[in-house]
C-alpha cells in the first residue's frame, strides 16, 4: 500500500485535469498546464490517477451514475469521484485512506459542502460493491471501458478478436527502445542496460522491450544519442520502406521525428522531413541533433506542394498520416473519450488528400509507405483501396518479409497499419 500523505493534493490536481479532459481538452495539454507547479512525487501520483481514471472512464462514470442522486453536478466534483473510484480499484491504497483523502481533496478544491456527499458515495460503493458490479455489467461502456461507437467499430472490423482488442486497450503500454546502430549494436546496448539493472529483451533488429518502464534519465547513453524511446510497432516503418543509400526520401508528416531518425540510422539517404506545425517541426530538429543526424526539416503542409517541393521526385515517401490514434489509445487514454464516430470520415478525407498530393512527388518506380496508428478499417484499407482504384499508376505491393498490414495492440507493440504502394515506371 502506498503512503497517503500526498494523496489528497494529487486527487485534487487529478480532478482538475480530468475535468478539463471531460470538457474537451487533451490530457497532455491539461497535464502540462499544471506540471510546473508540482513536486515530482505528487506529479507521479497525479499522472497515475489521471491515466488510470481515463482508462477506466466508462466504468467509473457508470458507478457514479448508479450511486448519485445529484445528476451531473459540478465538473470537478464528478472528476474527483471518478479519480477516487479508480484509486479504490487500483489497490494501491487502503480503502479507508482513499475515502479520507478524497474528502480532504474536496476541501482543497473548495467544494466544502460536498465533503459529506463524497464520503457517503464512496462508502456506499465499498459497502455495495457486489451489487454495483452486477448493475454495471450490463452497460457495455462500463464493462469494456470504451465508448459505445468505438466498441461497435471494433466488433465490425475484428469480429473474432474484438473482446481481446478492447481488453488490450485498457492495459499499460510497453516501453521499447530503438538502438542507434550507427553508434552501437543492439546486443551491446542490452548488456549496458543489464549492468544498470534494467531488464530487456530483443524483439527486432534495433528494438529492445523493457520489462518495466523507466525514466529516460536512467537509460545509459540516452543524452549522447545511443538510444531512443520508440514503440516496436513504429520501428517497422523504416524496414518496410526498402531503403538504399543515396535515395531521396520524404517523411511527410514527420513530428515528433522518431521515424525520421530511424530512417537516417538505417541508410545514408537524403531526407526531407515535414510537419504542418512549426513547434512540432522544431522537435524533429532537436531529436536529430541528439542523435548526431541531420535532415532538411520544414514546417509545411505536405499537401501544399508549391510551398515546399522543388520539383525533384522522391524515391521513397513515408506518409504517417493524421488519424484517430485508436491503436495508441492505451498510451493516450483521453483519445477514447475525445474522439467521435464522425471523426473517422473526416480523417479519411484528409488521408485521401495527402495520398493524392504526395503521389505527384513520388518518382516513377518509387514506393510510398502509408502508415496510421489506427485499427479502424475506414482509415486504413478503405483509404488505400479507394486511392488505388482512382490512381491507375498505383499498385499495392506485399510488405517486405511477409509483414502483416495490421498490427493490433499487444504486449510488445501498439496498433499500426501499413500499406506499401508502388508507382508504375
Neighbours of 8 (CB within 10 A): 20
Cα–Cα distance, 133 to 140 (Å, whole number): 13
State the cell numbers at 419.
500499406
Cα–Cα distance, 322 to 317 (Å, whole number): 15
Cα–Cα distance, 29 to 40 (Å, whole number): 18
Under 8 Å between Cβ of 417 and 237: no
In 56-137, which ranges are continuous DSSP H helix? 57-67, 75-90, 95-108, 115-127, 129-136
Could you tell me how many residues make up the chain? 425
Under 8 Å between Cβ of 126 and 95: yes
Which DSSP string corresponds to 298-341?
Answer: EE--TT-GGGT--SPPEEEEEEE-----GGGTTTSTHHHHH--T
Q: Tell me whether residue 373 is one of the annotated catalytic residues.
A: yes
Of 364, 362, 358, 400, nearest in space to 383 by CA: 358
**Please, what is the Cα angle at 92 between 91 and 94, to 5 degrees?**
75
DSSP-derived 3-state class of residue 199: coil
Options 125, 253, 373, 388, the catalytic residue: 373
Under 8 Å between Cβ of 385 and 370: no
Of 362, 418, 417, nearest in space to 394 by CA: 362
Active-site amino acid positions = 373
Amino acid at each position: 500500500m502506498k503512503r497517503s500523505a500526498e494523496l489528497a493534493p494529487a486527487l485534487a490536481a487529478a480532478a482538475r485535469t480530468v475535468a478539463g479532459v471531460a470538457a474537451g481538452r487533451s490530457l497532455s495539454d491539461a497535464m502540462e498546464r499544471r506540471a510546473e507547479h508540482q513536486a515530482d512525487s505528487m506529479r507521479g501520483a497525479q499522472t497515475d490517477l489521471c491515466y488510470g481514471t481515463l482508462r477506466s472512464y466508462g466504468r467509473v462514470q457508470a458507478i457514479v451514475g448508479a450511486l448519485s442522486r445529484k445528476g451531473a453536478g459540478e465538473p470537478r466534483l464528478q472528476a474527483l469521484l471518478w479519480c477516487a473510484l479508480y484509486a479504490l480499484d487500483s489497490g494501491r491504497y487502503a480503502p479507508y485512506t482513499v475515502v479520507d483523502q478524497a474528502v480532504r481533496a474536496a476541501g482543497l478544491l473548495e467544494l466544502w459542502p460536498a465533503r459529506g456527499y463524497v464520503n457517503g458515495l464512496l462508502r456506499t460503493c465499498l459497502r455495495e460493491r457486489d451489487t454495483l458490479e452486477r448493475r454495471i455489467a450490463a452497460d457495455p461502456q462500463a464493462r469494456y471501458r470504451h465508448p459505445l461507437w468505438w466498441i461497435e467499430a471494433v466488433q465490425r472490423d475484428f469480429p473474432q478478436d474484438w473482446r481481446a482488442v478492447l481488453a488490450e486497450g485498457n492495459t499499460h503500454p510497453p516501453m521499447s527502445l530503438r538502438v542507434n546502430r550507427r553508434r552501437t549494436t543492439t546486443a551491446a546496448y542490452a548488456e549496458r542496460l543489464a549492468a544498470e539493472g534494467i531488464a530487456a529483451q530483443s524483439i527486432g533488429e534495433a528494438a529492445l522491450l523493457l520489462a518495466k518502464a523507466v525514466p529516460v534519465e536512467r537509460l545509459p547513453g540516452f543524452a549522447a544519442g545511443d538510444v531512443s524511446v520508440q514503440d516496436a510497432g513504429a520501428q517497422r516503418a523504416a524496414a518496410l520502406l526498402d531503403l538504399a543509400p543515396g535515395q531521396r526520401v520524404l517523411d511527410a508528416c514527420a513530428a515528433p521525428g522518431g521515424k525520421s531518425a530511424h530512417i537516417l540510422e538505417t541508410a545514408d539517404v537524403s531526407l526531407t522531413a515535414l510537419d504542418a506545425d512549426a513547434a512540432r517541426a522544431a522537435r524533429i530538429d532537436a531529436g536529430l541533433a541528439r542523435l548526431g543526424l541531420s535532415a532538411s526539416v520544414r514546417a509545411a503542409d505536405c499537401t501544399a506542394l508549391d510551398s515546399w517541393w522543388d520539383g525533384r521526385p522522391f524515391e521513397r515517401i513515408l506518409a504517417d498520416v493524421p488519424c484517430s490514434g485508436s491503436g495508441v489509445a492505451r498510451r493516450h487514454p483521453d483519445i477514447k473519450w475525445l474522439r467521435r464516430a464522425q471523426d473517422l470520415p473526416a480523417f479519411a478525407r484528409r488521408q485521401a488528400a495527402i495520398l493524392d498530393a504526395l503521389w505527384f512527388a513520388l518518382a516513377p518506380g518509387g514506393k510510398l509507405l502509408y502508415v496510421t496508428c489506427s485499427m479502424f478499417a475506414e482509415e486504413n484499407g478503405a483509404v488505400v483501396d479507394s486511392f488505388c482504384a482512382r490512381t491507375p499508376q498505383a499498385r499495392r505491393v506485399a510488405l517486405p518479409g511477409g509483414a502483416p498490414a495490421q498490427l493490433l495492440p499487444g504486449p510488445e507493440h501498439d496498433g499500426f497499419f501499413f500499406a506499401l504502394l508502388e508507382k508504375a515506371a
